[in-house]
Every structure is written in C-alpha cells, then in structure tokens.
Amino acid sequence: MGLNTEVEYVTDIQKIIEMGVMQSPVLTIDGKPVMTGSTSDIKKIKDLISQSNNADQVEPKKNSKCSCGGNC
C-alpha cells in the first residue's frame, strides 16, 4: 500500500485484554481495535488501513457489544 508506518505483532494476552478485546486476532490502528476475530478478508483490512491513513479517525466497529459503541 506504500505506507511508511510501524507494525507491531503482539502476542501478550494481558496486553490484548487491556485493550478491552476478548478475541483474537486483533487489528489495531493508533492503539484502537478496529477489527477482531478475522484476518481472511484482505480487502476489508486494506480499507480499514486506508481509512485511517486518509482520516483522523477510523469508523467504529459495527455490532460492537461494548458500551462505548466501538470507540474503545
């Protein structure tokens, strides 16, 4: 995608739980979870990364079960 960015692979379960996520894998952008439990949809992953690169904020996760509406 031609982006100059840092990527971190986190396997520490405690760090994942601290993000408020109880499912893996997790895609986070700027420290905020934007996708959990799936990695098979490459187009969706690219769209999320592209949105975050072109906007100040990524759209919240749809169907989030937490009280923040997907903004945690």
Q: How does pLDDT run along the chain (72 residues), one tens digit per residue?
A: 788 888 778 888 888 888 888 888 888 888 888 888 877 788 888 888 888 877 544 444 454 555 555 556
The partner residues of 26 in beta bridges, in order of sequence, read 36
In this prediction, residue 48 carries a pLDDT of: 86
Which helix (H) or strand (E) covers residue 49, if one does? Answer: helix 42-54
In this prediction, residue 10 carries a pLDDT of: 81
In this prediction, residue 67 carries a pLDDT of: 54
Q: Residue for token digits 């408020």?
A: 20
